[in-house]
Structure 1
Amino acid sequence: MTPPPPLGRHRNKDGLTFDPALDDTELATVRDALARGRWADARQLLARTGDDWDRRGHRLVVLAEAPTSATWARDWLLAEPDSPDAATLLACAGVLRCLAGKETPETAHALCLAAARLAPRDPTPWLAVLILARRTGTADERVRAFDQVRARHRDHHHAHHLMAACLAERQEGDRDDPLHEVYDFAAWAAEQAPADSPLAVLPVVAHAERYRALARAGLEPGDPARSAHWTTRRARQVMKAAFDWWLEWDIDEDTADGTDTTTAATAHPRRKVDLNYLAHAKLHEGRLAEAAALLTRIGPHVTRVPWTYPDRDPAAAFRAARRTALGAT
């Protein structure tokens, strides 16, 4: 399952960029082609993606990030007025243009509704509405958009992570509430998800998102290591959430006698948590030592990245954790 991309690219002082396409090399190639006006490549990619809704949402948002995507999506839509792929790409591009201050929320929202009419089964136009509502809408509008996504794909992980971020940002009073609604939402979503769903780690993400919101409100220090509250009671809550859902995601490819079990009924089932998600949750808590240990354990399969933390540079955090891991070996 491909994770959703971060909303925008991040650049740090050494000039390295973080690629939202992640390990989807086919997507990266098509994105470059789209930037040159070759929208037929995007049409073929999305046709091959089919109704893999998580991957489709990821690919459309990444394709929409290019500055010229809206232009080429309009050209595509002129050539194929009934194309749901063209309409949804234009909707995603319109939302990202709105977040960049280049489009009005009303225009972006209208593009999303037009795409939804052409593709009534596709959750992606409603994912775009949710991305838009997070920045420009009301709490009710976010909930309605999330419900529309979930009605079409109940385990849509990008939508769930966005809702966790939205809920975590609600703040009443001048202190944290251990019964905050984001924790209930995350626990409910994890319980509802299938056993092999990445949503199982949402309770951990909820704690990380909540700390981010508290730090932004000035109720916790920007560095979690300086927070006595976080490193004591809250740390225990986070670790409990982690271990409640902690099961490795790997499937053993071979048994002791060399029999291949990956295609047989005896294969080990995919389990609840992808350790990549937990590692990146640690990164965004600022707990680099623990993240480094996880990244080392995962090895070359680190493909999951955070996407709901616009104030942090995941590329820099990733490199820092890797340096820590290499120094410990």
Structure 2
Amino acid sequence: MPPPPPPLGRGRRRAAQVFDEALDDTELVAARTALTQGRWQSARSLLARTGDEWDRRGHRVTVLAAEPYCAAWTREWLLAEPESADASVLLAVALVRRALGGRQTPQAAREACRSAAERAPADPTPWLGLLILARERGPERDVVRLFEEVRVRYADHHHAHHLMVAWLAERRVDAGPDPLHEVYDFAAWAAEQAPADSPLAILPVIAHAERYRALAAAGLAAADPVTSGHWTGRRARLVMKAAFDWWLEWEQDDHPRRLIDLNFLAHAKVCEGRSAEAAALFHRIGDHVTPQPWSYPGRDARTAFRAARASALGTA
């Protein structure tokens, strides 16, 4: 039996909490634990049950692929089931993770992703793997092309859109806080194209957050978001209000990826001084902080998150 998820609420011992990419997906946590022990059958069953829920599949595959021995155990799976599309996809993304860590050649990872795409032509996940790799190691033309390959298979792919926003936010950093920067246009376009209940509605907020991250990293914005001025513009305020209203409508959805989006929005509320709204969001998030919060470049993630949360909740 997998261990129970950590309890939510303000009373638990936060010192023992560590960010987990799996978020609230207990099935994923159990499969990942089994995979670390060489029992790939749990990953096999998990991906079979996930089916064509492409957002959830992408999340589960990328989390499983991050395990250090995922590639080795997935090769064992392929020896047992040479025609398994799920095993091929998981191995491909595991090799992408290894390539980004310098433990695998990018070319081998690309070839594995293309092979997986041939076995599962409708699955956007192998193309997501290629996009993750191109975002760090590929030419610009490949990033755009691979994003389109993902969208052809699933137009509202959550992870792929987030990657594109982060990538675009890092372009033309020397332009400074340009309100007409391409990342804002892309995010607005994607949100308009998405269905009314899609998590892509939050992308305009993510665009402001990612652009701030890029500017702060380049020394063109204050490292402290409260004093940076990035969130004080009229456009930024309207974007955040629209996103917050949308979240109130969608708050019953239980997709684990939403916790990352809420983290972006909660920190934005802190920067705006809207402590009551921030407190409501922090209550829902619990300790699910992003690994590298956009609003605190160069500072310890856990310490910064707790400080903002304590300030919003009035428990400092």
Which bracket does the TM-score occupy, shorter chain normalised? 0.7 to 0.9
Please state if 1:322 is matched with 2:306.
Answer: no
1:294 to 257, 269, 278: 278
Specify the SS of the correspondent of 2:314.
Answer: helix
Partner residue of 2:242? 244
- Matched residue pairs, number? 296
Separation in 2, partners of 1:252, 1:91: 33
User: 1:308/1:179 Cα in 2 relative to 1: closer, same or farther (>3 Å)?
Assistant: farther
User: 1:179/1:81 Cα in 2 relative to 1: closer, same or farther (>3 Å)?
Assistant: same
Q: Which moved more, 1:215-224 or 1:101-110?
A: 215-224
Separation in 2, partners of 1:276, 1:178: 24
Specify the SS of the correspondent of 1:242.
Answer: helix
Separation in 2, partners of 1:112, 1:203: 30
Q: Which moved more, 1:36-45 or 1:14-23?
A: 14-23
Normalising to structure 2: TM-score of the pair?
Answer: 0.83
- Unaligned ranges ≥5, structure 2: 1-14
User: 1:200/1:69 Cα in 2 relative to 1: closer, same or farther (>3 Å)?
Assistant: same
Shift of 1:218: 1.7
**Correspondence 1:128-277 to 2 at 5 A:** 128-171=129-172, 173-227=174-228, 229-233=229-233, 236-249=234-247, 277=261
Deviations 1:26-74 (Å, cap 9, x if unpaired)? Answer: 1101100000000011000111111000000000011011100010011
Partner residue of 1:256? none
Shift of 1:221: 2.0
Does the 8 Å CA contact 2:166/2:207 hold for their aligned counterparts?
yes
Normalising to structure 1: TM-score of the pair?
Answer: 0.80
> Counterpart amino acid of 2:271?
R
**Correspondence 1:3-22 to 2 at 5 A:** 16-22=17-23
Does the 8 Å CA contact 1:39/1:76 hold for their aligned counterparts?
yes
User: 1:64/1:194 Cα in 2 relative to 1: closer, same or farther (>3 Å)?
Assistant: same
Partner residue of 2:11? none
Does the 8 Å CA contact 1:248/1:275 hold for their aligned counterparts?
no
> Counterpart amino acid of 2:310?
R
Task: List, as ranges, runs of 4+ consecutive aligned residues in structure 1 with deviation greater than 6 Å.
Answer: none
User: 1:99/1:36 Cα in 2 relative to 1: closer, same or farther (>3 Å)?
Assistant: same
Separation in 1, partners of 2:236, 2:259: 15
Identical counterparts, % of pairs: 53
Does the 8 Å CA contact 2:267/2:278 hold for their aligned counterparts?
no
Deviations 1:136-191 (Å, cap 9, x if unpaired)? Answer: 01111111111011111111111001000000100164533221110100000000
Separation in 1, partners of 2:39, 2:268: 37
